[in-house]
C-alpha cells in the first residue's frame, strides 16, 4: 500500500500524496490516467520540480489546504490568530480514512491549539469537492479570518473565464489572461449576487464548449464568498475558494469548530464536459426533482399588486385551458402590502383584499387541476410594518444604526431565535392552511452592514439560519417545492440548491436577454432547475417587442412557465401558446434528462445549442438568431455529440404563422442524415428575422 492515492470517476483522475503525516497534496487533477500500479504512483510523487535560485531549499508542497510553513507563498489555507499568536499553523496528520472515492485527513497542531478535518471527495460525475473543519483545541478564543481550499492547475491553463452581471442581466461571461498575481472575485453582498463569478474556470487559451482543457471552481455558499485563480512567480497555479468571513465573524471558544461550505472543482475537455459534470452530480442527488417540472403561471407581470379575486380567477381559468399545471400568487397577498414600501414581515392574509382569505382562489385553482404556489420574502422586513414596530431589535444593523434602505426594506435577523420562530410559525400556518405546493422565496436586497443588533457581523449566521428555515419547512411539508428567487438570479449556487427545487434565472424575461442568461446559467445548473417564463409581447423590463415564437422558443429550455396577462392575449396567441405548452410536455423528459450541447459559433448573431439523450437516439437542437449579421449567409448549423453512424431524421418545429421564416430546400426532402454528417458538414439553417429561434427534433431512424 502506497501513501499516494488514485481516485477515478468518469474520465477524471485525482492523485493525492498523503505521505509524511502531511495534509493531502494533489499530484494530478484532470484527465483520467487509466490503471496505475503502486510503482507508478510512487514515481509521480518523487517527480518534484527543481528548486530554483533564491527559493526555499526544498520543493514547495502544496496541500489542498495550502500551508505557508511548507513554502507556499500564495493565499494560505487557514488565516487567524489567538491574540496575535498561532497565526501560521503546521498541521500533522494523525488519522487518514481512504475509500474508493474519498480521503478524509485528521490533523492537529498542538502548539497552535488547532485541529483540522479535511475532506476530499471525487463524485461519480467527476467533480472534486472538498471542505475543512477547524477546531480550537487551545485556551482562549481563536479568531478565524479565512479558510481557503485550492487545487493546482497546470501551467498551460492561462485563460480565465468567469461571470459578472447586474440586476436583469445576470451571468455575463468575461475572459482574461491569468498573469502572475491573483484573479480574485470577492462577493460581499451577503447573498450570491447577480455579479457572482458562479464558476471560475482557467483553461488552455481559446478553450470553447467542446475544445480545450478547463479547470474550474465553485463555492457552494449563499452568503459572502470568494473565488480565485492564482499564479505565483514560481509558475505554480491554483484555483480555489471559500466563504468570505467578515471581521470577527467567526470566533472559536475552546472546543468550538467552524466548517467551510463545500468547494467544488470541475475539470472538463471543454465547457460542455465541465457543465455536464455539475448536471449529472445534481441529478444524482436523492432530493433532485423527479416529477415532471409542471408548466407554471406566475401572476406578477399580469397583475402586480392589484389583487382582485375575479381577475385572478379568470387568469387561472385561462391558464388551465392552455394546459398549465401550477399557479403562483406573487407579492401583495399579505397585510399592508399595496406596494413595495410596506408590509414585509406581516405574513397574514390581508383581510381588506381577501375578506374570505385565499381559500376561494385556492379552491378554484385546485378544481382546475393545478397546484397552488405562493410568494414569500422571509428574510426581509419593511420598517413600515407591524413586525418592525413591535420588534425593531430584530433588524440587522451595524453599531446601533440601520443600514441604508434598499427597495424600502431591511433585513430580518433570522439568527435571533425569536425572529426565526416567528417567521417559521407564520409560514407554517399559511402553507398548512392552504396546502401550498410551492413557495417562491424572494430576497430583494443585499446584506449591507449586516450585523447583530449591538454586536458583530452576522452574514455567516444569517445564511445558516436561512438554510435551516428552508430545511425545517421541507421537513414539515415533505412535498413542498421552493424556488430560490433573489431580485431574480442573485442567489444561484450549489448551497441554496441543496434546499430548493429551482432558481429564478432573472427578473428580466426578455427572450433576447434570456438567450445569454440561459446559455451561461447552465454552466452550473441543468435546465430543469432554471425558471424560464414566456413574457408578454412588450417586455416589462426592456420595452422590446418580440413575437410569441421567440419568447416561447427561448423559454422552452428551462422549467417553462408564463408571466403574462392572458386576458390581453389574442385568440391566435392563445392557440399557439397551447401548442408550445404541449411541445414542452412532450420534450421535457429529454430537455430535463439529456446532455447539454452548445456549439462554438464565429458569428455572434446566432447560437446553436441543444440536448442529446444519454443513449443518443434522440435530441432537440435550437437555432437562434439574436441580431443582424454583417453577411447574408452565416453558414451551416452543426449538431454535435450524436452517434456518428446512426441515421437521424431532422424535423423543424414551427408553431404559428412563421411569416418571416423561410426554410431551406432540405426541409421538403426526406430529412435523413448520419450523425457524422450533422456534426461535420451540418445543414443550411433557415432564413430568419433578426430575433428568432427554431427548434429541431432529431430522431434516430
- Which residues does the annotation mark as catalytic? 442, 507
* 166: β partners: 169
Strand order in the sheet with 595-598: 595-598, 606-612, 618-626, 691-700, 647-652, 672-674
Specify the length of the chain in residues.
Answer: 701
Q: What nine digits make up the cell of 245?
A: 468571513
Tell me the three state secondary structure of residue 418.
helix
Rounded CA separation 598/640 (Å): 8
634 burial via Cβ count (<10 Å: 0-12, 13-18, 19+): middle
Give the contacts of 39 (CB within 8 A, at least 6 positions apart).
Answer: none
Q: What nine digits make up the cell of 551?
A: 419568447
- Calculate the alpha carbon distances from 289 to 136, 294, 502, 560 in Å: 39, 11, 9, 15
Ranges assigned E (strand) in 4-74: 4-9, 12-17, 25-31
Helix or strand holding residue 475 (H, E):
helix 459-476
Give long-range contacts, CB 8 A cutoff, 24+ apart: 279-287: 279/125, 279/522, 279/525, 279/526, 279/595, 279/596, 280/10, 280/124, 280/125, 281/123, 281/124, 281/125, 281/127, 282/494, 282/497, 282/525, 282/526, 282/529, 283/526, 283/593, 284/123, 284/124, 284/125, 287/498
Give the contacts of 135 (CB within 8 A, at least 6 positions apart).
Answer: 114, 115, 116, 117, 252, 255, 256, 257
Question: Would you say 448 and 380 are in contact if contact means Cβ atoms under 8 Å apart?
Answer: no
Amino acid at each position: 500500500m502506497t501513501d499516494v492515492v488514485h481516485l477515478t470517476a468518469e474520465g477524471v483522475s485525482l492523485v493525492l500524496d498523503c505521505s509524511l503525516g502531511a495534509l493531502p497534496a494533489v499530484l494530478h487533477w484532470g484527465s483520467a490516467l487509466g490503471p496505475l500500479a503502486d510503482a507508478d504512483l510512487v514515481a509521480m510523487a518523487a517527480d518534484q520540480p527543481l528548486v530554483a535560485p533564491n527559493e526555499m531549499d526544498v520543493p514547495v508542497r502544496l496541500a489542498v489546504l495550502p500551508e505557508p510553513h511548507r513554502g507556499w507563498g500564495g493565499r494560505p489555507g487557514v488565516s487567524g490568530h489567538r491574540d496575535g499568536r498561532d497565526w501560521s499553523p503546521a498541521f500533522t496528520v494523525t488519522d487518514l480514512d481512504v475509500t474508493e472515492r474519498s480521503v478524509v485527513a485528521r490533523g492537529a497542531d498542538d502548539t497552535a491549539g488547532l485541529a483540522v478535518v479535511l475532506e476530499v471527495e471525487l463524485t461519480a460525475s467527476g467533480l472534486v469537492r472538498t471542505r475543512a473543519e477547524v477546531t480550537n483545541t487551545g485556551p482562549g478564543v481563536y479568531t478565524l479570518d479565512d479558510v481557503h481550499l485550492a487545487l493546482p492547475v497546470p501551467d498551460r491553463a492561462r485563460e480565465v473565464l468567469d461571470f459578472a452581471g447586474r440586476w436583469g442581466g445576470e451571468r455575463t461571461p468575461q475572459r482574461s489572461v491569468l498573469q502572475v498575481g491573483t484573479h480574485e472575485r470577492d462577493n460581499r453582498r451577503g447573498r450570491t449576487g447577480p455579479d457572482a463569478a458562479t464558476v471560475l474556470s482557467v483553461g488552455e487559451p481559446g478553450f470553447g464548449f467542446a475544445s480545450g482543457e478547463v479547470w474550474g471552481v465553485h463555492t457552494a455558499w449563499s452568503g459572502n464568498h470568494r473565488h480565485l485563480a492564482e499564479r505565483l512567480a514560481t509558475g505554480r497555479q491554483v484555483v480555489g475558494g471559500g466563504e468570505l468571513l467578515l471581521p470577527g465573524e467567526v470566533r472559536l471558544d475552546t472546543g468550538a469548530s467552524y466548517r467551510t461550505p463545500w468547494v467544488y472543482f470541475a475539470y472538463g475537455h471543454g465547457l460542455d464536459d465541465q457543465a455536464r459534470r455539475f448536471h449529472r452530480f445534481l441529478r444524482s442527488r436523492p432530493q433532485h426533482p423527479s416529477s415532471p417540472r409542471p408548466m407554471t403561471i406566475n401572476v406578477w407581470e399580469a397583475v402586480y399588486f392589484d389583487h382582485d379575486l375575479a381577475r385572478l380567477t379568470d387568469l387561472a381559468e385561462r391558464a388551465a385551458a392552455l394546459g398549465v399545471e401550477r399557479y403562483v400568487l406573487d407579492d401583495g397577498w399579505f397585510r399592508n402590502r399595496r406596494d413595495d414600501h410596506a408590509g414585509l414581515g406581516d405574513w397574514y392574509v390581508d383581510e381588506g383584499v381577501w375578506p374570505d382569505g385565499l381559500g376561494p382562489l385556492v379552491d378554484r385553482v385546485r378544481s382546475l387541476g393545478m397546484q397552488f404556489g405562493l410568494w414569500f420574502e422571509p428574510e426581509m422586513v419593511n420598517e413600515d410594518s407591524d413586525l418592525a414596530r413591535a420588534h425593531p431589535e430584530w433588524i440587522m444593523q451595524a453599531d446601533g444604526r440601520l443600514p441604508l434602505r434598499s427597495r424600502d426594506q431591511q433585513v430580518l435577523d433570522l439568527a435571533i431565535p425569536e425572529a426565526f420562530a416567528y417567521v417559521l410559525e407564520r409560514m407554517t400556518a399559511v402553507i398548512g392552511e392552504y396546502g401550498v405546493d410551492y413557495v417562491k422565496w424572494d430576497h430583494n436586497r443585499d446584506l449591507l452592514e449586516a450585523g447583530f443588533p449591538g454586536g458583530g457581523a452576522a452574514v455567516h449566521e444569517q445564511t445558516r439560519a436561512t438554510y435551516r428555515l428552508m430545511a425545517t419547512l421541507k421537513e414539515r411539508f415533505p412535498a413542498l417545492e421552493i424556488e430560490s428567487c433573489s431580485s431574480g438570479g442573485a442567489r444561484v449556487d450549489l448551497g441554496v440548491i441543496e434546499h430548493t427545487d429551482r432558481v429564478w434565472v432573472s427578473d428580466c424575461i426578455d427572450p433576447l436577454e434570456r438567450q445569454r442568461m440561459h446559455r451561461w446559467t447552465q454552466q452550473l445548473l441543468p435546465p430543469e432547475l432554471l425558471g424560464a417564463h414566456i413574457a408578454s409581447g412588450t417586455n416589462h423590463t426592456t420595452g422590446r417587442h418580440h413575437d410569441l415564437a421567440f419568447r416561447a422558443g427561448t423559454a422552452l429550455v428551462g422549467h417553462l412557465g408564463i408571466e403574462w396577462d392572458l386576458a390581453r392575449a389574442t385568440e391566435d396567441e392563445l392557440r399557439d401558446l397551447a401548442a408550445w405548452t404541449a411541445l414542452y410536455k412532450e420534450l421535457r423528459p429529454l430537455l430535463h434528462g439529456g446532455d447539454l450541447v452548445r456549439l462554438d459559433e464565429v458569428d455572434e448573431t446566432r447560437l446553436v445549442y441543444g440536448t442529446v439523450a444519454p443513449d443518443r437516439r434522440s435530441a432537440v437542437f435550437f437555432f437562434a438568431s439574436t441580431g443582424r449579421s454583417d453577411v447574408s449567409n452565416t453558414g451551416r448549423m452543426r449538431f454535435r455529440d450524436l452517434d456518428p453512424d446512426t441515421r437521424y431524421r431532422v424535423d423543424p418545429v414551427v408553431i404559428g404563422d412563421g411569416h418571416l421564416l423561410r426554410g431551406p430546400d432540405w426541409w421538403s426532402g426526406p430529412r435523413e442524415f448520419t450523425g457524422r454528417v450533422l456534426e461535420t458538414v451540418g445543414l443550411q439553417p433557415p432564413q430568419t428575422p433578426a430575433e428568432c429561434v427554431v427548434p429541431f427534433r432529431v430522431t434516430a431512424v
